[in-house]
Structure 1
Amino acid sequence: MQIFEWLKLKMKFTFKKNKKSAIKDNRVIDSSPIQDQEEKVNMLKVNASADHDNKNENDKKIVEQNLINKRLPKELIIRIFSYLDIVSLCRCAQVSKYWNILALDGSNLQHVDLFEFQRDVSENVIENIALRCNEFLRSIRLENCRSINDTSLKTLCIKCPNVELLNLKQCLKLTEKSFVNIGNNLQYLTSLNLESCNISDQGIKCIAKGCSRLQAIEISWCINISSDGLFNFADSCSNLRHIAAKGLTNMKNRVLAKIADNCPQLISLILNNCNSLTDDGIISIADNCQFLKHLCVSNCKHLTDASLIALGRNCHELCLFESSGCSNLSDNGFSALSKGCPNLMRIDLEECLQITNATIQNLANNCFKLRHLALSRCENITDDGIRLITNPTTGNLNETLQVLELDNCPLITDAALDQLSSCQNLMRLELYDCQLITKNGIKKFQSKFPQIKVHAYFAPTVASNHNRPIRSCSCKCCVIL
């Protein structure tokens, strides 16, 4: 009996000891089976929740690792952005703060064209671009951005000294201060467009002095530049290859002579509406600028065949020639031009009133690359002249010609349309106000050659008074029969 009591006390003592140890080890011992079951369920829930959290953490880490920001170094992202235009860059900059920094990095803004945003471009926009781009900026086009003023352009010139191309066409708020800043700061400038700007002799002088690398200049309709200003500019810039000076009444022969002496590498010369020029100026260019490819002298009304003869004698690389409105030019001059300039691809003879079919024959016989021929208002051109274009025995214009302009040619008839059917590559035909061309003739031509764009105009027919029926008119006070 004593042994039994001793064993009972021993078991009780062992149970209490194990319970204390379990509590110490954060284990709960309960003799109740229901409590054990609940405990197991709770433990399973806790474990499931922990597993779910761990899985979400792992998935989040995998997603973050696959993000372009994590996978690619910022240098590579910037390089990718460099292939986008400014609109796409601005859209990318709105994705996140990180992309905003990379997309608008100065290295991505080397070439900025704001022509599409003309009215929305304020002086603050230009200043922000200048501050962000700094020395990275190479070209900026601000054509028709009329809100730009001297202050914003000064910031641009100072902060972006490496600009090589600058287009300020019709930026009318700019004054002489801006052009002085261009000359003082943009020494690497090679192309400058100042068309219709308010620049005068002081500004052009500073640009000539400070921008010695200039190769292309556009000063059309800058009427405040005097003949002396143009002369000094031509004397200072010896690297010029492209000059556009339309509408400059102060463009004199001596200016062209200086350009010819100082710029022998000249390729393109645009002189439309320079009414003061005569043959002497063009002859100077022809004698010295033998690499000339583009020459436009439309509405230089004092030019004669002497200019054409000089060009044919020396400028064998000429491929574009425009002489619209030069009514003193004749077949003799164009004969010399076509023989000496076989590479002509485009020639505009609109309103050269003296030329006849002989000019067309010379072009067909000598200019085998001619693609664009303008004969508008040439009143002596007839159907026989068109036949010379299409006749393979006189040349290959029937194979090369793509555009033919015959507006206001009163002697052209529907027969000319039949002749043009042999022009294999003709793409556009201008027939405005050709009195002897009929609607039926054009419809017939278009039905055969739907790929050719034909532009024509026919005045609406007005009913004759003799054909109108007599009708009575009435008013409140009387009746008029």
Structure 2
Amino acid sequence: MSLFPDYLLATIDFITTLVHRCPKLEALNLSHCVSVCDTCVKIISDELHSLRRLNLDGVLWITDSGLLHLADSKAVHNGSLNSIWLDGFELSNSGLNEFIIRLDYATKRLSGDVDDIIYSETGHHVFGIQQLWISFCDHIEDEAIKSIANLSTLVALTLRKTHQVTPVGLSSLFITSFNHLDHQLNLRYLEHLDLSEAPGLNDSVVMDICNCCGNRLRFLTLNWCWEVTDIGVNQIIEVCNSLHQLSLIGNSTIQGRAFSEIPLKVPHLIILNLTQCNHIVDNVLEDLAVKMPNLYVFDFFGERVGGELDDICHFDVSRALGKVPICTD
């Protein structure tokens, strides 16, 4: 008698067939395939040595066991796997921490000191995880967050719902202070950052983000981060001059007067999403829409400021941007 119910057996059989028929598979998207389990992850980890991108977001029943199989996979240890999407629903803080430690060890073993790595703009290969996405980080605490700071090759990081992480923990992603004069910048190569629904994310954390990687960031999402005030927004506009998208959905504090400086200081901005931000000064957004007609500014209702009746709305953009690019350009 099988230990697995029929629906899991069918999925395990499918994954087994897939890896045997496509052993050189480089990208695998299993997002929201709810019958994928730890056994499936073990099969993938054992067989797909060339895997570069693996999406397990929305796969609720993967536990620490499956995650550690992935960390010990050939694709991690040969430097092939560079992008991982996970759902943190069933992951413990200790399990995720151990996973990150093993990823970091594999990267260091392959490439040595990260300062010696030649980054992608030169056309050379970069070993290690470059994109990490974890939704539902409800069980994650400061310990695991501090381990993520060691993944210095990260270019894109998403950590949503870090409800148990303190401001100190979030700041540790970006700056490690040894004393009041000596500090280290951690994730300084980030270009995409999403820390939505982080109660501990305040202006001090925003300052550390800006000081660490602000001038490289192209996409910054701080939705439902209620502790961010105009002080933090001012710093973002002042420092993050490469931004293409800034999303601050659900912030009920900011007035956004600094947005008037966007044409001069953030000239490449394409999307400014202020849906459910109920204290924004309307005429600032109206003037901004006039000065930058190609900029999509979304107001409290999620409608485009200065747009036509048939223009796209916030929900259209969210759906488009929410699609995970499992394959590279």
The residue aligned with 1:366 is 265
Is residue 155 of structure 2 the alignment partner of residue 155 of structure 1?
Answer: no
Residue of structure 2 equivalent to 1:341: 240
1:241 aligns with 2:162: no
Aligned partners of 1:206 and 1:288: how far apart in 2? 19
Change (3 A) 1:345 1:174: closer
The question of whether the paired residues in 1 share the 8 Å contact of 2:237 and 2:262 is answered with yes
**1:119, CA displacement in angstroms?**
10
Match of 2:83 in 1: 191
| Cα distance change of structure 1 residues 337 and 455 upon mapping to structure 2, 3 Å threshold | closer
C-alpha contact 2:135 2:161 (8 A) present in aligned 1: yes
The partner residue of 1:174 within 62, 66, 70 is 62
Cα deviation, residue 129, structure 1: 1.6
Structure 2 CA distance for partners of 1:386 and 1:131, relative to 1, 3 Å: closer
**Pair 1:165 & 2:42 matched:** no
Amino acid in the other structure paired with 2:311: I
1:375 aligns to 2:274 (yes or no): yes
**Taking structure 1 as the reference length, what is the TM-score of the superposition?**
0.48
* Partner-residue secondary structure (3-state), 1:194: strand
Quote the offset at 1:230 in angstroms: 4.2
> Aligned residue for 2:129?
214
Tell me, yes or no, if the aligned pair for 1:374 and 1:406 is still in contact at 8 Å.
yes
Match runs of 1:35-74 below 5 Å = none
What's the CA shift for 1:256?
4.2
Give the conservation status (yes or no) of the 8 Å contact 2:170–2:200: no
CA shift digits 1:30-55 (9 cap, x unpaired):
xxxxxxxxxxxxxxxxxxxxxxxxxx
Shift of 1:125: 0.8
- In the other structure, the counterpart of 1:112 is none
| Distance in 2 of aligned mates of 1:174 and 1:304 | 31
Equivalent pair of 2:259/2:284 in contact (CA under 8 Å): yes
- Structure with the largest fraction of helix: 1
Identity of aligned residues (%): 19
Matched with 1:19 is none
Q: How large is the RMSD of aligned CA atoms in angstroms?
A: 3.8
Q: 1:247: how far off?
A: 1.4
Which residue pairs with 2:191 in the alignment? 293
Distance change (3 Å), C-alpha of 1:137 and 1:367? closer
Distance 1:226 1:327 in 2: 19
Q: 1:405 Cα deviation (Å)? A: 1.6
Instruction: Give the SS at the match of 1:122.
Output: helix
TM-score w.r.t. length of structure 2: 0.66
In the other structure, the counterpart of 1:320 is 219
CA distance in 1, matches of 2:262, 2:167: 29
Instruction: Give the one of 391, 397, 419 matched to 2:292.
Output: 397
- Kept in 2, the 8 Å contact 1:303–1:328? The answer is yes
Q: Aligned runs of 1:435-454 on 2, under 5 Å?
A: 449=308, 452-453=311-312
Instruction: Quote the Cα distance in structure 1 between the aligned partners of 2:8 and 2:135.
Output: 23
Q: Relative to 1, partners in 2 of residues 1:208 and 1:366: Cα closer, same or farther, differing over 3 Å?
A: same
Q: Secondary structure at the match of 2:193?
A: strand
2:167–2:205 Cα contact (<8 Å) kept: no
Q: Distance in 2 between matches of 1:367 and 1:319?
A: 10
Unpaired runs of 5+ in structure 1?
1-117, 263-283, 409-427, 432-444, 457-481
Aligned pair partner of 1:131 in 20, 25, 47? 20
Asked whether the 8 Å contact 2:174–2:186 carries over to 1, the reply is yes
CA-CA distance at 1:228 after TM superposition: 3.1
Q: 1:407 is matched with which residue? A: 300
Work out the number of aligned pairs and report it: 275
Structure 2 equivalent of residue 429 of structure 1: 303
Q: Matched residues in 2 for 1:294 and 1:203: separation?
A: 21
Question: What does the per-residue CA deviation read over 1:227-262, in whole Å, with 9 as the maximum and x for residues that have no partner?
Answer: 434444544x44333332211334345544554369
Work out whether residues 156 and 191 of structure 2, in 8 Å CA contact, stay in contact via their aligned partners in 1. no
What secondary structure, in the 3-state scheme, does the structure 2 residue paired with 1:363 have? helix
SS of equivalent to 1:219: strand
8 Å contact from structure 1 (residues 194, 220) kept in 2: yes
- 1: CA distance, partners of 2:102 / 2:314: 49
Shift of 1:193: 1.9
Distance 1:259 1:234 in 2: 5
Whole-angstrom CA distance in 2 between matches of 1:226 and 1:455: 32
Aligned ranges 1:86-105 → 2 under 5 Å: none
Unaligned 5+ segments in structure 2 are 1-6, 108-127, 177-182, 316-329
User: 4+ residue runs of structure 1 moved beyond 6 angstroms?
Assistant: 118-121
Contact 1:169 1:197 in 2 (8 A): no
Query: Cα offset for 1:333?
Result: 3.9
Shift of 1:127: 0.8
